[in-house]
Structure 1
């Protein structure tokens, strides 16, 4: 069990440090900045690479919403769920600490939003709470369906991390303007700790919406799509 938890913490650390790090360190330069397309790719690459690296140990969740969805789909033990959540949050928090330490090494740097999530004034595109809630629920549900489908016994073997990484890239391409993209409560929590904005006050939505979306995705899978898996 300890090995699984260490793998989950490591994978979540990589996701937050790589994905949020691309936004904090590399996205904003006028000539060399990677932009939101580059940030979207960075998040997809973090999940894909760590799914291949440690997925065989822990399942490669790196996300409390994913763990919940897999438990609801009978793919994961409910007994292990709280321990996975703690490991994921710890990995995200450690990544935020490390990213803050690196970023603050530049003279005159200020955390600002620190790649945190938000709605209203904290939304990159000025989207309100309802829009943020809807996009996070819908995209997390879709993410769970991709995860469940690509890891099904009848799916082509060895390609699940690619499908999951590309799905997360697509999710970011859609929702960065709306919420700066969460679909992952651990990712949202880690960076919110260092943001100079009111991100902590809005963190509730980035737990509620991804968890609700994961539950919806798991229910859709069990009621509609899992029959193909069985038959």
Structure 2
């Protein structure tokens, strides 16, 4: 969120996308072994539906995720209001639609971007030992690409928590549109949980370096 607030218009999409991707990459390697690095409620929903955590565990994650987003947005709000920081977005980096995309487009985009991102987390995390520790790189790159596509259109929520934080401090239109950026990333997470097992058990699961049967 901070990168969205601080990045200038020229080159801003690339800067913001890289920042989101690199931060998540770092978090995966830093806290991945401790908590699974769940910082996105849509990912947590996908993990829950995959049967890898309990409902209580998911609720605890969601509380922490939304609380963390609120605290981060409060710090940004303080920096913009009293710290002399110029908000390049004018809306504290809040997600929204109506300028470059309409409501229906925003719903579709957020669903698709999250649907494409969450399976990467689910599949690569499960196969991280096979990938020799490259899970964080794949996850970070996936989020960066999602932001490259969506930043200029909706701000690329992909995570309901990321949308929640700025909206509650910005208020107004951002708060009225917030439901879109909560409901549809979660829908993408649900769809991802349905698709991830197909990827895990498909031909792509063959371990790197392991010869595939030739059929002869």
So what's the TM-score if we normalise by structure 2?
A: 0.87
- Asked if 1:90 corresponds to 2:45, the answer is no
Counterpart in the other structure of 2:20: 43
Structure number with the bigger relative contact order (C-alpha 8 A, sep ≥ 6) is 2
Structure 1 residue 103, shift from structure 2 partner? 2.4
Structure 1 residue 157, shift from structure 2 partner? 2.8
1:137–1:111 distance in 2 versus 1, CA, 3 Å: closer
Q: How many residues align?
A: 203
Q: Deviations over 1:6-29 (max 9, x none)?
A: xxxxxxxxxxxxxx111112x127
CA–CA separation in structure 1 for the residues paired with 2:148 and 2:87: 27
Structure 1: runs of 5+ lacking an equivalent? 1-19
8 Å Cα contact 1:146-1:163 kept in structure 2: yes
Larger Cα-atom Rg: 2
Counterpart in the other structure of 1:193: 168
SS of the residue aligned with 2:139? helix
- Asked if 1:67 corresponds to 2:44, the answer is yes
CA–CA separation in structure 1 for the residues paired with 2:11 and 2:74: 23
Query: Which of residues 104, 113, 119 is equivalent to 2:91?
Result: 113
1:208–1:83 distance in 2 versus 1, CA, 3 Å: same
CA–CA separation in structure 2 for the residues paired with 1:108 and 1:225: 44
1:131–1:53 distance in 2 versus 1, CA, 3 Å: same
SS of the residue aligned with 1:204? helix
So what's the TM-score if we normalise by structure 1?
A: 0.81
8 Å Cα contact 1:52-1:161 kept in structure 2: yes
Counterpart in the other structure of 1:80: 57
Structure 2: runs of 5+ lacking an equivalent? 208-216
Structure 1 residue 100, shift from structure 2 partner? 1.5
8 Å Cα contact 2:118-2:189 kept in structure 1: yes
